[in-house]
Amino acid sequence: MTRGTGEWSISDLAKAAATTSRTLRHYGQLGLLPPSRIGANGYRYYDQGSLVRLQRILLLRELGLGLPVIAEVLAGEQDTTAALRTHLELLRQEQDRIRRRIESVHTTLHKTERGEQLMAAEVFDGFDHTEFKDEVIERWGKEAYERGDRWWRSVSETNKKAFQQTHLDIAADYGRARAAGLALDSDEVQAIVQRHYDWIGIGWQGRTVVKQAFVGLGEMYVADPRFATNYDVHGTGTAEFVRDAMKVYAQRRL
């Protein structure tokens, strides 16, 4: 840090952020992290605002966003305080995902130690298809439920785990997209919805997921707290974001 000026050289900033000067220069070339000033000697210097901006960049990178998307997010952020609140919300989402994994492993450990039978739903963060039996029968009929029930019971434990993890990943990506302020009709958000649609199609065993059914599922994610908890973290409103993104997809594609 330059003594008494509240600014950092590129090498000092790289060291503090556990990255490289080359990476910071690359961010600068892309317009993500311009230096606050360039000295007469050609050296780059960064102020406190640069530190906050770099923190956001590194966090969004860790969450899997590409540099073009990060540039779009940062371009829309004029309020540093609001950006930090978004940053904190993303960290809380990650904290919640880790908490759920800890609870799952904790349950597995204790049941293993006591010699008790393990349940896939407990081991893999709880996907109890029977929990929504009444809703499925009411909306799509008893035959639809029984067909889905037979399919689920026939799936191997490995494939059940993969199916559940796919949904967790989709839900997490929805949360990241909403927190990053991405538009419902953006290519990034609609790509998530496409994965969601394909995932639902697997459960429907190849039968077409029609527009009305897809939109209806989105409404259930908001109306039924049991569904909403799969998407909302700390009351973030992600369930509404998912519902609205699904509506956009349905209007465009179904």
Q: Which CATH class is domain 8-75?
A: mainly alpha
Is residue 54 within 8 Å of 45, Cβ to Cβ?
no
Contact 53, 74 (CB under 8 A): yes
Render each residue's pLDDT in the chain as its tens digit; 254 residues: 554 457 889 998 888 888 888 889 999 998 899 999 988 888 889 988 888 888 888 887 776 677 887 887 777 665 667 666 776 777 776 676 677 667 766 666 666 666 655 444 444 443 445 555 555 555 555 665 566 666 666 667 777 777 778 888 888 888 888 888 899 999 999 999 999 998 888 777 667 778 887 888 888 777 766 666 667 654 567 888 999 999 999 999 88
Please tell me whether residue 45 adopts helix, strand or coil conformation.
strand
Cite the DSSP H helix spans in 155-237. Answer: 157-179, 187-203, 211-223, 225-228
Contacts of 92 (CB under 8 A, 6+ apart): 233, 234
Domain positions in the chain are 8-75, 80-253
d(CA 84, CA 88): 6
